[in-house]
Amino acid sequence: MSYTLPLGADHHVGTFVKTTSPQVIEILGDSGLDFAVLDAEHAPYDRAALDLSLLAGRAAGLPLFVRVAEHTAACLLSALDLGAAGVLVPHVDSAQDAREAVAHCRYVGGDRGYSSSPRAAGYGARGMKQAIAHGDLSIVACQIESVAAVEQAAQIAAVPGVDVLFIGRADLALSMGLDNAQDPRVSEATQGVIRAALAAGKTAGMFVGSTAEREKYRALGVSWFIQGSDQSLLRQAAQATARARSPETSS
């Protein structure tokens, strides 16, 4: 499924999906979210689970990205062949990392392997020319989550084919020897990456834990947000339901 990044003052909001259930995707498809990201880095997604979830996303009209476990050619090819709108590539620490990731995601000028048989090529219904053109529209979002990546942010943003610089503050904090993603030093680095992305004409993205935090960073130019996850949304709703019990029913 194709996807267009937000333009100008617009912004898009999605969520991580960590539960390998296609029914979760169906539910999120009716929620009003702009997209969702299947977390194959930290959740138990194998190729079969990704296939079912991406099929559900197509049926529900919800663009899905895959955060891949690693930025190898095989990992990126698999996610895109299954029909992901794009990939979120973890641990892109240099411009060379970014160039390699983009090459693995592109037919023209890259090294993505071609087959007419997967979902991305319409199971053979698209001709080769159309399938290549469609495939090369896939979004490539590079995660900036280390001190080295922050230092290289401008160079990474300048790589042709990089669409989004996505800031991962938790791993960035760890890279800085910190255990708090809200530390002022992490915030300073985050703002530097946002500036680098915008200066290069690229989209700035990040994970946020709340709507208030989202609005804070939206004011700084971030326009692609992943807010929470299916797990956190379920937990928050369950806790709110539990807290709403009347004294009579809880006694």
- Considering the domain boundaries, does residue 55 fall inside one? yes
- Residue range 126-167, pLDDT digits in tens: 999 999 999 999 999 999 999 999 999 999 999 999 999 999
- Considering the domain boundaries, does residue 2 fall inside one? no
- Considering the domain boundaries, does residue 80 fall inside one? yes
- Considering the domain boundaries, does residue 180 fall inside one? yes
229: DSSP letter: E
How many structural domains is the chain composed of? 1
Residue type (1 letter), 87: V
Q: How much is the pLDDT for 2?
A: 82
Residue with tokens 């989004």, as numbered in its chain: 164
Residues with Cβ < 8 Å from 227, sequence gap 6 or more? Answer: 13, 14, 15, 207, 208, 209, 210, 211, 214
Cα dihedral value 181, 186, 187, 190, nearest 10: -110
| Structural domain containing residue 57 | 12-245
Collect the ranges in the chain with pLDDT lower than 70.
246-251
Residue 220 sits in a domain of what CATH number? 3.20.20.60
Q: Write the DSSP string, 30-46.
A: TTT-SEEEEETTTS---
Its pTM surpasses 0.75: yes
Q: How much is the pLDDT for 205?
A: 98
Q: How much is the pLDDT for 1?
A: 75
Catalytic residues: 42
